[in-house]
C-alpha cells in the first residue's frame, strides 16, 4: 500500500536550519510529482512547495521562496525539504503528498513531522 | 497569485442536514479545484478532485460542482462522522492555494 513517512522535525532556534525527509513506498515514486504542505498549530493548510517527477522543476510559496529548497532522490524514493533561516512563523506540521498529474493530486499524504521554531 | 475565499468559516448543522460550502477564486481557474476533509489530529483526506470527481471510497453524499470562480462542496444528509473541517484547494497555477477552511460542528 502507499506509504509516505516524514521525518526530521524538531525544535530549532530562529535563524537556524533543518532538513525534512519523506520516505515513499508502495508506488512508483519516480512517476509522481511531490509536494510539501504545512499546517501551523490550530491553523489551516498552507501549500509550501512542489518538485516534478524527474526533479528538474520546483515551485515555492512566496513565504518560503529563497529559504527552502525541495529536492528528491528517485533512487532512494526520498523527498527532502531543506529549510534555512527558519522563522517562528515556520512552526507547523509538515506533510508530504503526491501528485500523479495536474488533475489528480494530493491523494495520499504522510502523517506529518512537527517543526517548532522557538528561542 | 490566486486567492481562495471560503465560506462560511464555521457552521452548525444537524445530522441529516444538507450542507453547502463555497469557495470563490480571485480569478478563473477552470475546474482545477479539490476538496479535503480533516478531522482533529488527523491527516487531510481528499474528497473531490477536478471540481466534481468523487474520490474512490468517499460516500456519494459528498458532491462538488463549479467552474471558473465559484465552487461548492455539498454534503447531502450530514452524518455524525462528517463533522470536521473542510478545505478547498486551487491547482490551476503555482503557488497552489487553499481556502481558509470551514469547520462543520454539531448543532
Question: How far apart, in Å, are the Cα atoms of B89 and each of A22, A86, A109, B15?
Answer: 22, 26, 15, 26
Question: How far apart, in Å, are the Cα atoms of B64 and each of A63, A80, B1, B54?
Answer: 30, 33, 23, 8
pLDDT in tens, A24-62: 999 999 999 999 999 999 999 999 999 999 999 999 999
In the three-class reduction of DSSP (H, G, I as helix; E, B as strand; rest coil), residue B84 is classed as coil
Mean pLDDT of chain A: 97
Of A44, A50, A112, the CB nearest to B94: A50
Note whether A102 contacts B50, CB cutoff 8 Å. Answer: no
CA distance A38 to A17: 17
pLDDT in tens, B28-60: 999 999 999 999 999 999 999 999 999 999 999
Instruction: Inform me whether the C-beta atom of residue A100 falls under 8 Å from chain B C-beta atoms.
Output: no
Q: Is A23:A4 a contact under the CB 8 Å cutoff? A: yes
Question: How far apart, in Å, are the Cα atoms of A2 and each of A49, A97, A110?
Answer: 21, 11, 10
Amino acid at each position: 500500500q502507499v506509504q509516505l513517512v516524514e521525518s526530521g522535525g524538531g525544535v530549532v532556534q530562529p535563524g537556524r536550519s533543518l532538513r525534512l525527509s519523506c520516505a515513499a513506498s508502495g508506488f512508483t515514486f519516480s512517476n509522481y510529482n511531490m509536494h510539501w504542505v504545512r499546517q501551523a498549530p490550530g491553523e489551516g493548510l498552507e501549500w509550501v512547495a512542489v518538485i516534478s517527477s524527474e526533479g528538474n522543476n520546483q515551485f515555492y510559496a512566496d513565504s518560503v521562496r529563497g529559504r527552502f529548497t525541495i529536492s528528491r532522490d528517485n533512487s532512494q524514493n526520498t523527498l527532502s525539504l531543506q529549510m534555512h533561516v527558519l522563522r517562528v512563523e515556520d512552526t507547523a506540521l509538515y506533510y508530504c503528498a503526491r501528485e500523479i498529474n495536474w488533475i489528480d493530486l494530493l491523494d495520499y499524504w504522510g502523517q506529518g513531522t512537527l517543526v517548532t521554531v522557538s528561542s | 497569485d490566486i486567492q481562495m475565499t471560503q465560506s462560511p468559516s464555521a457552521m452548525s448543522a444537524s445530522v441529516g442536514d444538507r450542507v453547502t460550502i463555497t469557495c470563490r477564486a480571485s480569478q478563473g481557474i477552470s475546474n482545477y479545484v479539490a476538496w479535503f476533509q480533516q478531522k482533529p489530529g488527523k491527516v487531510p483526506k481528499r474528497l473531490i478532485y477536478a471540481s466534481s470527481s468523487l474520490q474512490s471510497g468517499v460516500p456519494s453524499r459528498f458532491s462538488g460542482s463549479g467552474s471558473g470562480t465559484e465552487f461548492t462542496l455539498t454534503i447531502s444528509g450530514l452524518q455524525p462522522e462528517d463533522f470536521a473541517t473542510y478545505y478547498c484547494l486551487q491547482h490551476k497555477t503555482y503557488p497552489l492555494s487553499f481556502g481558509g477552511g470551514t469547520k462543520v460542528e454539531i448543532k
